[in-house]
Copies of this chain bind each other. A is one copy, B any other.
Amino acid sequence: MRTQDIDEMRRLPFFRDVEAGNVDAMLRSAFLQRFPAHVELVRDGEPADFLHVIIEGTVEMFSGHRDRETTLGVSGPGESFILAAVLLDRPYLQSARALSAARILMLPADAVRQAFAADAGFARALAAGTAQAYRGVVRELKNQKLRSGLERLANWLLTHDVECGSRGRFDFPFDKKVLAARLGMAPEVLSRSFAALAAYDVVVRGPSVCINDVDALRKLARPSPTIDGTNI
């Protein structure tokens, strides 16, 4: 890793509560890698060699079983993934692939565990990080078990609109096929769901979507703070 990159990485929010010496110890053995789109970054079942921190790009977390595959989440810049596997020194439960070209900081697992053991601030930050990740998955599980496909889509649209500045209009951040997997439905079903949302004044044209009547959509979606977070 180049010294210039190291300086940039040192300033990551991820390292905020960590002593400088421990940050450097981790960065010394780290890699800053660029990956093209569609590349698989980690495969589930394999030992947790690296903690990954996304610097640029988006990463899809997914998993397959028999002939099925599902997307478990999509992460973006600033987020780390498979922290829990690294901490506990257990195999990954999820696979990851780059959705776009991505720049990723890879911290060797034993360096992370060493810093975790040596640095109480880091340990607390990781506890908070895994706690947040935990709550994210619980939300996702509730979303999956308590809602129909159409409701999941409606809520995703509302949430994403808020993240884009509540303009009632945005472009999809990834292919609709990925969105379908993200929402746990077949691509065809997503397509039909969009058609069904026309009745609620949601207009999809190509890669962009217009929510013309937010209230109507909210009435269908019925967002809940214990599933979708508080800012919706």
Nearest B residue to A138 via CB reads B93
Within 8 A of B (CB), among A95-133: 116-117, 120, 123-124, 126-128, 130-133
Cβ of A124: which chain B residues have Cβ within 8 Å of it? 116-117, 123, 127
Cβ of A83: which chain B residues have Cβ within 8 Å of it? 131
- C-alpha spacing A120/B116, complex, angstroms: 10
A137-B147 in contact (CB<8A): no
| A65 on the B face (CB < 8 A) | yes
- C-alpha spacing A83/B66, complex, angstroms: 34
Identical copies of this chain, number: 2
A70-B135 in contact (CB<8A): no
Cβ of A90: which chain B residues have Cβ within 8 Å of it? 135
Nearest B residue to A132 via CB reads B88
> Given A123-B127, A126-B127, A144-B145, are A45 and B87 also a contact pair (CB < 8 Å)?
no
Question: How far in angstroms is the closest Cβ of chain B from A112?
Answer: 12
B224-A88 in contact (CB<8A): no
| A18 on the B face (CB < 8 A) | no
A140-B142 in contact (CB<8A): no
Nearest B residue to A184 via CB reads B145
A144-B141 in contact (CB<8A): yes
- C-alpha spacing A143/B152, complex, angstroms: 19
A66-B131 in contact (CB<8A): no
Contact of A142 among B87, B93, B123, B147 (CB under 8 A): B93
Contact of A127 among B66, B116, B140, B145 (CB under 8 A): B116
Cβ of A130: which chain B residues have Cβ within 8 Å of it? 127, 130-131, 134
- C-alpha spacing A117/B20, complex, angstroms: 20
> Given A130-B130, A222-B66, are A85 and B135 also a contact pair (CB < 8 Å)?
yes
Within 8 A of B (CB), among A186-232: 222, 224-227
A65-B147 in contact (CB<8A): yes
Cβ of A85: which chain B residues have Cβ within 8 Å of it? 135
Interface on A for B, CB 8 Å cutoff?
44-45, 63-66, 68-70, 72, 83-85, 87-88, 90-94, 116-117, 120, 123-124, 126-128, 130-135, 137-142, 144-147, 184, 222, 224-227
16 A-B pairs besides A68-B146, A94-B138, A120-B120 with CB distance below 8 A are A44-B226, A69-B146, A72-B142, A84-B134, A84-B138, A87-B127, A88-B128, A88-B132, A91-B225, A91-B226, A92-B226, A123-B124, A127-B130, A133-B134, A137-B141, A144-B145
